[in-house]
Amino acid sequence: MGLERRQFLGAAIALAAAAASDSAFGHVLDRSKPLGGMPFALPSLPYPYDSLEACIDAQTVELHHDKHHAAYVNNLNEAAKAVPQIASQPMELILANLMELPEEFRSIVRNNMGGHANHTMYWDVLGGKGGTPQGDVLSAIDRDLGGIEKLRADFDAAGMRVFGSGWVFVTVTRDGKLALESRPNQDSPLMDGKRVLFGNDVWEHAYYLRYQNRRTDYLHAWWSVVNWSRISDRYEAARAGTLTI
């Protein structure tokens, strides 16, 4: 990327910061200049490591959160030293506008911010006891995805079709419409400006200790630890326009 482009980016960010500081709140935290510490943080696991035993063993959960997810966060903090603008806006905005970043940093941000966002969502939608959804989210599943049994079958089949590492998602629009999508690596529908209702990680690190090559068994068992209450909250947030990652 040329100097002009960099200057443009810098000017755009300065403008955004100026606009933010004029907000009704009077003071807006500038996340590009954290007061000590790093701009990105590993969110605490919202339940004990053994909470997902019905599907995932405690050691896998611990390694997945404390090592794999942490590595994406650490890499992102390293990247932020070179491209501080990645910490100046919400992640969903950065991910939807990766082409605005200097070309040499796009891949590292795509992989590591994608990984951070995907895993934050993953922990958020787990920790429940499965069962069936209720209310508006169930109505949307019936309307758009053919009902819960068809969703489970189609979602698991999509997870099996991911070649190598990736994710399977249900996306949600502001109108509450749902769709099934998958992505390779740490890509996310957020990169297309969409919102994720929930998603499952089909990287081997998510299941290998218990399931080895049996990804299909992991996919089937995963529904037993889904937190439909949180997913319902995410659905309402999507319709209110407040769902982020």
Residues that bind Fe ion (CB under 5 A): 201, 203, 206
Q: What is the distance between the alpha carbons of residues 150 and 46, in angstroms, rounded to a whole number?
A: 29
> Whose Cβ is closer to Fe ion: residue 65's or residue 234's?
65
Q: Is 201 annotated as belonging to a binding site?
A: yes
The angle subtended at Cα 185 by Cα 237 and Cα 206, nearest 5°, is 80
For Fe ion, give the closer residue by CB, 85 or 156.
Answer: 156
Give min distance, CB of 171 to Fe ion, in A.
Answer: 19
Q: Which residue is nearest to Fe ion (CB)?
A: 201
Q: Minimal CA–CA distance to 147: which of 125, 103, 180, 189?
A: 180
Closest approach of Cβ 87 to Fe ion, in Å? Answer: 22
Q: Least distance from C-beta 51 to Fe ion, angstroms? A: 17
- In whole angstroms, the minimum distance from the beta carbon of 237 to Fe ion comes to 23
First to last CA, the chain: 28
In the numeric block, which tokens belong to residue 213?
A: 């090559």
* Angle of CA points 175, 180, 181, to nearest 5°: 110
Nearer to Fe ion, 185 or 224 (CB): 185
Asked if residue 65 belongs to a known ligand binding site, the reply is no
Residue 64, marked binder:
yes
Cβ-based nearer residue to Fe ion, 187 or 201 = 201
Do 91 and 113 meet the contact criterion of CB atoms below 8 Å apart?
Answer: yes
- Cβ contact 206:126 at 8 Å: no
Q: Residues at the annotated binding site for Mn(2+)?
A: 64, 119, 201, 205
Q: Residues at the annotated binding site?
A: 64, 119, 201, 205
